[in-house]
């Protein structure tokens, strides 16, 4: 089983709203990732969590706030977003955050900021 589940699948939010994206995996993976993907572009790394601790923040604006409450869950809290933040947000997980493990992606949340 290589399933990573993301909710919601689609989200429309206003620039003053606060919303959260959720990601869950039950594969016992200890590394989880958030990526952002714009149309016709590759996934762009935002955050890496390793053993529930933030290990990499790719200089993401503070209007994106990640949280890892436990080893199975990863959240991305959104506040005061801009229309240019509209994108597909992808969660992934891997066994550990080392250089030799495969990462599996969820189906993504398509976010539209209006």
Partner 1 sequence: QKEVEQNSGPLSVPEGAIASLNCTYSDRGSQSFFWYRQYSGKSPELIMSIYSNGDKEDGRFTAQLNKASQYVSLLIRDSQPSDSATYLCAVTFRVDSSYKLIFGSGTRLLVRP
52 binds partner 1 (CB under 8 A): no
DSSP label of 1: -
Which window, 13-21, 61-69, 72-80, 97-105, contacts partner 1 (CB under 8 A)?
97-105
Which window, 10-18, 61-69, 79-87, 105-113, contacts partner 1 (CB under 8 A)?
105-113
- Cα separations in angstroms, 28 against 52, 70, 87, 107: 12, 11, 28, 19
Question: Contact with partner 1 (CB under 8 A): which of 7, 55, 82, 112?
Answer: 55
97 binds partner 1 (CB under 8 A): yes
Question: Contact with partner 1 (CB under 8 A): which of 23, 33, 78, 113?
Answer: 33
- Rounded Cα distance between 114 and 103, Å, is 32
């Amino acid at each position: 089983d290589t399933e990573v589940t993301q909710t919601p699948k689609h989200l429309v939010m206003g620039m003053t709203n606060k919303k959260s994206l959720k990601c869950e995996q039950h594969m016992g993976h200890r590394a989880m990732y958030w990526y952002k993907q714009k149309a016709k572009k590759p996934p762009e790394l935002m955050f890496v969590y390793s053993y529930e601790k933030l290990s990499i923040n790719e200089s993401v604006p503070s209007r994106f706030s990640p949280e890892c409450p436990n080893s199975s869950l990863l959240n991305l809290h959104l506040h005061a977003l801009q229309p240019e933040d509209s994108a597909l947000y992808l969660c992934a997980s891997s066994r550990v955050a080392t250089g030799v493990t495969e990462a599996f992606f969820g189906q993504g949340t398509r976010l539209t900021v209006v």
